[in-house]
């Protein structure tokens, strides 16, 4: 008698970082149990994947879902709904909420809030501060966290780790990779006085200039080498940082780095049309920086792609610069924007799977995710590479209600999404109920 599955994904092209093969995927009890020719097997549900590519769900390792304290912008339910619609089946959320996620109690509160409400699998970073530095080796071991996040620039209160002494103290307590927002806070403060009498968002990349990023990343690499602590430099925005990141890797230092779709796709010319919607930290910069960053991605410098999803309401964004807050939504458009680049021949689908699923899982030692293979969780995205479509307000799920890509025509779309074997997106439309679970990590003891 033929083996029976809960679901068979039939007739698709299964993609890994190494190859793409024609194969079926058998799912039982939320797990992938077989990748083979399953055409003669039985299942409660058969999902026709003919003409589609079967990818491991995206692991977005940098999102801001704003709950608790800033729910007018986003909450865990709406942010994770946007995530799953875009093919993101797991997210790592940042600690700059209100209250800050800097204690075990605050972490547990977020985990409790996510249970039963999160459409994607979830985990939450703990923020490293001067006050909790000596506890961080314990905190990084807590269930439901991928580790410790450091803000060297662009934060407030105790989350801002501005000096080398504070960063050194944080790095000296723990072993896991520390993701870092790398902008030199002292330089940012100094340059505030350079704002014009009639400020415009186009000034943002001038005030938060490339040197602020370069200086901070240089400091961070030195501190990582000094302490022996792995660091993961987030949202690289300048061509100036690329040589030092290459050199650090060539020296064998424990330095990895992230790039966002927006820093590879958008440039400073768009400040004229998008205004404060383009405002984020670190900034969207000139075409020269964008091109260099994109080429570095093609050459293999970056380890992961993250969205830095950081939504604000239109009312908040409509404030005149610089009163307007920095940040833009991006979790729902991460995969579609990158699929558009795949269709333009700028990168392979195999490379995209590495940057969005396999490498994030490896970097943070995620348990059971990042691959379409037997024994892994059934977090699966079926993409239609040939689908031409337009990003519309109706498709967007984020509570903020807008996207810098609204109105863009893209080729390539996440047509179906399964989270832990539950078919939550069908034909680019949401269905069913939230099926996310807390992400587990192999290194936890």
Which among 43, 53, 32, 49 has a CA at the least distance from the CA of 421? 32
Please compute, for residue 444, the number of CA atoms within 13 A of its CA located in the half-sphere on the CB side.
15
The string of DSSP codes covering 126-176 is EEP-TTTGGGHHHHTTSTT---EEEESSS--GGGB--SHHHHHHHHTS--S
- Catalytic residue (one of 184, 209, 308, 384): 308
- What 3-state DSSP class applies to 106? helix
CB 217, CB 233: distance < 8 Å = yes
Contact 178, 170 (CB under 8 A): yes
Strand partners, 126: 148
Closest CA relative to residue 88, chosen from 123, 132, 51, 57: 57
Backbone CA torsion sign across 167, 169, 170, 173: positive
d(CA 241, CA 220) in angstroms, rounded, equals 11
Helix (H) or strand (E) segment spanning residue 419: strand 409-419
* Helix and strand numbers, DSSP H then E, in the chain: 15, 18
Residue 277, both tokens? 């919607």
Q: How many residues does the chain have?
A: 445
Which residues are CB-neighbours of 194 under 8 A, at least 6 positions away?
Answer: 206, 207
134 is catalytic: no
Which residues are known to be catalytic?
308
């Amino acid at each position: 008698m033929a083996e029976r599955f809960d679901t068979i994904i039939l007739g698709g092209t299964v993609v890994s970082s190494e190859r793409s093969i024609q194969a079926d995927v058998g799912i039982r009890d939320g797990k992938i149990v077989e990748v083979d020719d399953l055409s003669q097997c039985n299942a409660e549900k058969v999902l026709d994947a003919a003409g589609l590519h079967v990818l491991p769900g995206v692991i977005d390792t940098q999102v801001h879902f704003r709950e608790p304290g800033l729910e007018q912008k986003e909450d865990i339910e709406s942010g994770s709904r946007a995530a799953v619609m875009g093919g993101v089946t797991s997210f790592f959320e940042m600690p700059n909420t209100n209250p800050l996620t800097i204690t075990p109690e605050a972490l547990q509160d977020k985990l409790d809030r996510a249970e039963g409400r999160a459409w994607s699998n979830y985990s939450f970073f703990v923020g490293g501060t001067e006050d909790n530095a000596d506890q961080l080796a314990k905190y990084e071991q807590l269930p439901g966290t991928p580790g410790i996040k450091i803000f060297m620039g662009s934060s407030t209160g105790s989350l801002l780790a501005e000096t080398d002494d504070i960063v050194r103290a944080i790095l000296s307590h723990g072993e896991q990779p520390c993701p870092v927002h790398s902008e030199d806070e002292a330089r940012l403060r100094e340059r505030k006085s350079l704002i014009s009498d009639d400020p415009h968002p186009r000034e943002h990349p001038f005030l938060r200039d490339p040197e602020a990023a370069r200086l901070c990343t240089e400091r961070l690499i030195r501190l990582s080498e000094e302490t022996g602590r792995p660091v993961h430099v987030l949202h690289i925005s300048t061509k100036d940082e690329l040589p030092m990141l290459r050199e650090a890797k060539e020296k064998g230092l424990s330095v990895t780095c992230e790039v966002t779709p927006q820093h590879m796709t958008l440039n400073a010319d768009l400040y004229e049309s998008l205004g404060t919607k383009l405002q984020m930290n670190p900034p969207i910069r000139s075409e020269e920086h964008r091109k260099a960053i994109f080429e570095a991605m093609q050459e293999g410098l970056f380890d992961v792609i993250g969205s830095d999803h950081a939504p604000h309401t239109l009312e908040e964004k409509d404030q005149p610069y610089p009163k307007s807050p920095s940040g833009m939504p991006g979790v729902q458009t991460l995969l579609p924007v990158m699929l558009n680049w795949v269709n333009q021949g700028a990168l392979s689908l195999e490379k995209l799977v590495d940057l969005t699923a396999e490498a994030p899982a490896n970097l943070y030692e995620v348990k059971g995710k990042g691959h379409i293979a037997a024994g892994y969780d059934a977090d699966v995205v079926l993409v239609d590479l040939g689908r031409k479509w337009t990003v519309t307000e109706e498709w967007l799920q984020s509570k903020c209600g807008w996207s810098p890509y609204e109105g863009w025509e893209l080729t390539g779309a996440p047509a179906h999404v399964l989270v832990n074997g539950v078919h939550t997106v069908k034909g680019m439309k949401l269905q069913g109920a939230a099926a996310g679970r807390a992400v587990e990590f192999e290194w936890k003891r």
